[in-house]
Amino acid sequence: MSRRDLLKNSAGLAGIGFLGTSMEHRFNEADKQVGADLKGKVNHSACRWCYDKIPFEELVVNAKKIGLQSIELTGPDEWDILKKYDMTAAIGWGKYPEKMGLPNFFNKIQNHDKLVEFYEDLIPRAAKAGVKNLITFSGNRDGLSDEQGLLNCKKGLQRIMKTAEKHDVTISMELLNSKVNHKDYQCDHTEWGSVLCEMVGSNKFKLLYDIYHMQIMEGDVIATIKKNYQYISHYHTGGVPGRHEIDESQELNYAPIIKAIYDTGYKGFIGQEFIPAREDKMASLEQAVKICDI
């Protein structure tokens, strides 16, 4: 299932049933070794949808074993499982209103009432579960000018800021590329997103800077982060081109990028959002964690 399908339909499905005795034992043994080889500066996370063929609870157990503290892009049905293993969701989502997906979001005035209702319900649930960040999107242009898209997004987002501020939950709009993966998506440049942050005027509205997407759209990743870090609440990884492993098979040098992020004073998570090309997906995830563990 693609991320687009997940965005349209749900926050993803949690694993069904309970772990067997052997799995519980594996978790207990893993818990003793958590982060043994990691430096402790970087908070490590991974996106659920990249590992959707792995039962959720099994993913949580194995992710914690290699030092992750979060499985993100998860929803309320999965947050209890994360809490069970002393993990969190660095950024959450929920089941969006009917006919509401990535192309149809805050830049469409006609969507505002449903989106406001959705977030007004999800924000307090996230806060109760200890989830401090929720994802959102601009929507596709569909003929809208960048100026009108900004005005429309501002109008809708400001309606949920009081609730976000009250519950200390940040609403983060993801920067996506409109060149390869998400044709016509409006929030496709950091400058546009930064202007929107200024217009919304709340420290509980920020950007999710996806390194993969912004390398495709803008390049100049480190300089862009240094210039705009005050507007960024979360980061995603991914190898360019192809969105696979972030190793030497692609063009980005992730260790200096992660160092630049944390040099800004960032205290949040690095969310691995690449699609493993190897058969052993957890080995790829472990490799990525080590690459980013500056």
Q: Could you read off the pLDDT of 157-177 as tens digits, one per residue?
A: 999 999 999 999 999 999 999
| Structural contact between residues 112 and 156, judged by C-beta atoms closer than 8 angstroms | yes
* Cα–Cα distances in angstroms (integers) from residue 268 to residues 29, 179, 186, 204, 229, in the given order: 27, 28, 25, 14, 12
- Bridge partners, residue 74, by sequence: 92
| Structural contact between residues 281 and 247, judged by C-beta atoms closer than 8 angstroms | no
**Residue 153 predicted with pLDDT over 50:** yes
Coil, strand, or helix at residue 185? strand
Q: What is the pLDDT of residues 6-47, one digit of tens each?
A: 444 444 433 333 344 444 444 445 444 555 589 999 999 999
The average confidence (pLDDT) of the chain is: 91
Give residue 36's pLDDT. Answer: 54
- Bridge partners, residue 222, by sequence: none
12/77: higher pLDDT: 77
Sequence-distant (≥ 6) Cβ neighbours of residue 103 within 8 angstroms: 139, 140, 142, 184, 185
Would you place residue 100 in the very low, low, confident or very high pLDDT band (cuts 50, 70, 90)?
Answer: confident
All domains in the chain, ordered by first residue: 3-15+39-292 (3.20.20.150)
Q: What is the pLDDT of residues 220-254, one digit of tens each?
A: 999 999 999 999 999 999 999 999 999 999 999 99
Say what angle helices 146-167 and 190-200 make with each other, to 10 degrees: 50
